[in-house]
Amino acid sequence: MSENFKVELLLDAAVAAREKAYVPYSNYRVGAALLLEDGRVITGCNVENAAYPAGLCAERVAIFKAVSEGRMKFRALAVVTANGGSPCGMCRQVMREFAPDMPVFIADVSGNVRRTSVSELLPDSFGPEDLGYPQP
C-alpha cells in the first residue's frame, strides 16, 4: 500500500516530540506523531513519574490529546526511540481502540524505519465490537 502522505514529515514530528520527553528516571526518550484523517499531526512524548505507574507513554499521550480535541479518525502513527523500540502492550490496545488497521512506523535515532500496523502489533485483539459496540 502506498502512503498518500509524507512518512518523513511524520517521523520528523516524532523526533521533535522525543526531545520534549520528561524521563529523569529511565532516560529513555520516546516521541510519537499521530496523523489525523484531516491531515493534522498531533504529537506526544513520554512523561515519567517517581511513582512509575503514573507515567504515560508517548503514543498514548498523542492519542489522548487527539481524542481530547474531538479527533478520533487516525491515518498513521510514527514512533521514534533511541533503539527503535516497539510500542508497549497498553499503547497497542489504545491504538487498536481507534484504528485497528492503522500503519505504524517505528524508527530509531539513526533513521532506520520499519513499517508495521496495529493489527500486526496486536493480532487476535479485543475491541469495542467484542462488547457489542461499533468502533469509535
Among all residues, which ones are annotated catalytic? 59
Give the DSSP letter string of 44-58.
EE-B--SSGGG-B-H
What are the cell numbers at 123?
493480532
Other Cβ atoms closer than 10 A to 27 = 9
Rg of the chain over Cα atoms, rounded to whole angstroms, equals: 14
How many residues are given for the chain? 136
d(CA 100, CA 60): 15
Q: Which residues pair with 60 in a beta bridge?
A: none
